[in-house]
Structure 1
Amino acid sequence: MSDDLTELIKKIEWDEQRLVFREFDETDAWELGSLLVRLARERTLPVAIDIRRGEQQLFHAALPGATADNDAWIQRKVRVVHRFGASSYLVGRRLAAKGQSLGAELGVDPALFAAHGGAFPVRVTGAGVVAVVTVSGLPQAEDHALVVEALEQRITAAG
């Protein structure tokens, strides 16, 4: 495993440990999703944005340039977070570090799961993962970075 990949994995793990809400409800989902839309619009990013709690979609937006394919990627990335309890980017990077890929050897169908960056677990102190926020439409590291940027802003604003 390269030092760069090791450092990236440590950074993603750190982000997941520190980006935790005190509470997260429908209003928080709306505010987080709206922030992501604003950031994406300011940068003219062709993304779809999704926040869901279990099977309930709390927020969804498709900006100019996003396609139905982005929605399919969102579903596949969200399944990874639900299955492994970590961001889709972290799961993918951990697998890459081992020279593995997501597939039957891990008990999943790659047509239904995608260990590509962009889906991030929404954690609440004392409750664990309560939702998933996802961006799709950019290279995976950029999808992931946009979600992390928005989470940092929302969690800081919430105090």
Structure 2
Amino acid sequence: MPCSASCTRSAERDVPVPPHPEHQDQQREVFESDNMLVVPTGITDDLPTQSRHNSRDVRLVYNALAAVVLGPLPVSDWDGNDYYYMEMLARDLENDSMPLSELVWHPETGWGRKKAFATEAVCAYMADEWRRVEAGDDEDAKAAVASDHALLRTIFRLHDRENPFAVFDEA
């Protein structure tokens, strides 16, 4: 089930923004699901599906973010710009230009745009992955996914009651 907390959007964020001149000639594909997704094609063509980072935490988070972008996995109220932003965060995380701590909620630092988007993406990834593994009969796959998700929930502090995303539960 998706995270029940959602990112707040400003009024100006809901106004259609003309495409960046560098990307204005890109075609757009439309995918329909529980919400309408408009994902620019050509932007994520070279985003690796798997991280090669030396930190397991970074690998797990990167892989989740990449899965959301490359799927694309539906995230409520996201559009192509949001998926592109998530791709940039994944790349920055993978190449060490941004530490993982910048994506993780902490009671002392609160929320920021990066943290909210990353947490929402990871929650969407975990919900989708759990639905897929639950549909199968492979107990080893279920155990591996449960282990990865436990680590992701720990990284993102989804068990902390002060965390607005703490209500996330994939069961």
TM-score (norm 2): 0.30
Between Structure 1 and Structure 2, the one with more helix by share is 1
Between Structure 1 and Structure 2, the one with more strand by share is 1
**Who wins on radius of gyration, i.e. which is larger?**
2
TM-score (norm 1): 0.32
